[in-house]
Amino acid sequence: MDASHVAVDDITRNGAPLHVRSIRPDDKARLAAFHQRLSAESVYFRFFEFKGELSPSDLRYLTELDFEKRVALVATLDAQPDAPIVGVARFDILPDRAGAPRRAELGIVVEDAHQGRGIGTILLKYLLAIAHDKGVAEVTAEVLPQNTKMLELVARSGVPVERSLEEGVIRLQL
């Protein structure tokens, strides 16, 4: 799967259509609007801090990717190019450690109004397929213990997962 040109249609848990595609540099305004629609809790769970808005530097970092070491997918409710973003999933491949398997760090956030519909699960499915194609053997995610939705999403994914607690943060290894 070519990470920079993903464009697939899927179906959410409630039967609604979902379009998943690679993030693009022209998504900056859509991503900023998506971020504004997130609750303070969702922002905190994703970034471990409150970010009222994404700076121009943040938006460049989040939308201008090489799709080799940094990959991101967005979910929209239809395939129109200007459709609002309702979910984002990304991974960054971590620096190689001698003799260790290739690893990546995962992040997922779904707009509050659309949580619980399986959008995060769908994004995770495609993101893990891309990671596998890139030779990533282990995907990690750092999750606050209060973020039960993310913990449940990973638990339901069907992917073997190991959990550990480090300095008040749950580290998931998929």
| pLDDT at residue 52, as a whole number | 87
Average pLDDT over residues 31-60: 92
Amino acid type, 48? F
Instruction: For residue 149, give both structure tokens.
Output: 């939705």
Instruction: For residue 126, give both structure tokens.
Output: 């495609």
Instruction: For residue 70, give both structure tokens.
Output: 């940094």
Is the pLDDT reported for residue 1 higher than 80? Answer: no
Dihedral of alpha carbons 133, 138, 141, 145, sign: positive
| pLDDT at residue 100, as a whole number | 67
Is the pLDDT reported for residue 99 higher than 90? Answer: no
Interval 66-90: pLDDT, tens:
999 999 999 999 999 899 999 999 9
Interval 158-172: pLDDT, tens:
888 899 998 889 999
By C-alpha distance, which of 113, 49, 132, 131 is closest to 75? 113
pTM for this prediction:
0.93
| pLDDT at residue 156, as a whole number | 87
Is the pLDDT reported for residue 134 higher than 70? Answer: yes
Q: Is 155 helix (H, G, I), strand (E, B) or coil?
A: helix
Average pLDDT over residues 104-131: 95
Instruction: For residue 128, give both structure tokens.
Output: 């893990």
